[in-house]
Amino acid sequence: GLERTLIIVKPDAVQRGLIGEVLARLERRGLKLVALKMMWMSESLAEAHYAEHREKEFFSDLVRFITSGPVVVGVVEGPNAIEVTRTMMGETNPATSPPGSIRGDLALTISQNVIHGSSSPEAAQREVALFFRPEEILSYERAI
Ligand code: CMP
């Protein structure tokens, strides 16, 4: 059905001037951006966003990286938006992401992998609410 998912254009992609490239791919696929903002994530927001990874050995590196520069955060909406976005992103590790995917075309390392997308409907609901107030998510018609 119709879903919403959170995407983050990570600091590596912003630094490399790839914001438009990443958003354009999602838009061309037919996904609709219903919320969008640029921000510099605080440590507490990063820790809340990545709470499920708190016990991982890479957690502190992950928080340091995602707070190292500005990000672009958005909500994309469409049929099966969560799975479609994850398929377009490729694997977490860019090394095993096929060419044609966002990471397979634009990234090389697991930490600097250009984009985050919610991993499940539960994660999407939690992450969208963490970054956006309800009134920041807009309802409008768009042609595919
Ligand atoms: P993301 O989808 O943002 O969610 C968790 C992130 O942890 C993941 O993308 C990777 O960029 C990052 N990460 C860093 N190191 C590792 C690792 N060793 N294994 C998995 N994810 C990692």
Q: What digits encode the pLDDT tens for the residues 14-38?
A: 999 999 999 999 999 999 999 999 9
Q: Show me where the domains of the chain are located.
A: 2-136
0.95 cut: is pTM over it?
yes
Task: For residues 82-96, give the mean pLDDT.
Answer: 97
C-alpha–C-alpha distance, residues 19 and 138, integer Å: 21
Is 116 known to be catalytic? yes
Q: Which of 88, 97, 111 to mutate to test the pocket of ligand 1 (most atoms within 8 A of CB)?
A: 111
Domain 2-136 has CATH 2.40.50.1070: no
Q: What's the chain's Rg over C-alpha atoms?
A: 14
Element housing 27 (H / E): helix 19-29
Ligand 1 atom with minimal separation from the 61 CA: 14
Is there a contact between 70 and 40 (Cβ–Cβ < 8 Å)? yes
- The pLDDT of residue 116 is 98
Higher pLDDT, 143 or 90: 90
Are β-strands 32-39 and 115-117 bridged in parallel, bridged antiparallel, or unpaired? unpaired
For 1-144, strand residue ranges (E) read 2-9, 32-39, 71-79, 115-117
Please state, as a whole number, how many other Cβ atoms lie within 10 Å of the Cβ of residue 121.
14
CB 22 within 8 A of CB 13: yes
Instruction: Write the residue with the smallest CA distance to atom 13 of ligand 1.
Output: 111
**Does the Cβ of 45 fall within 6 Å of ligand 1?**
no
- Cα(86)–Cα(38) distance, integer angstroms: 21
Going by pLDDT thresholds of 50, 70 and 90, the confidence category of residue 144 is: confident
Q: Which of 64, 92, 96, 109 to mutate to test the pocket of ligand 1 (most atoms within 8 A of CB)?
A: 92
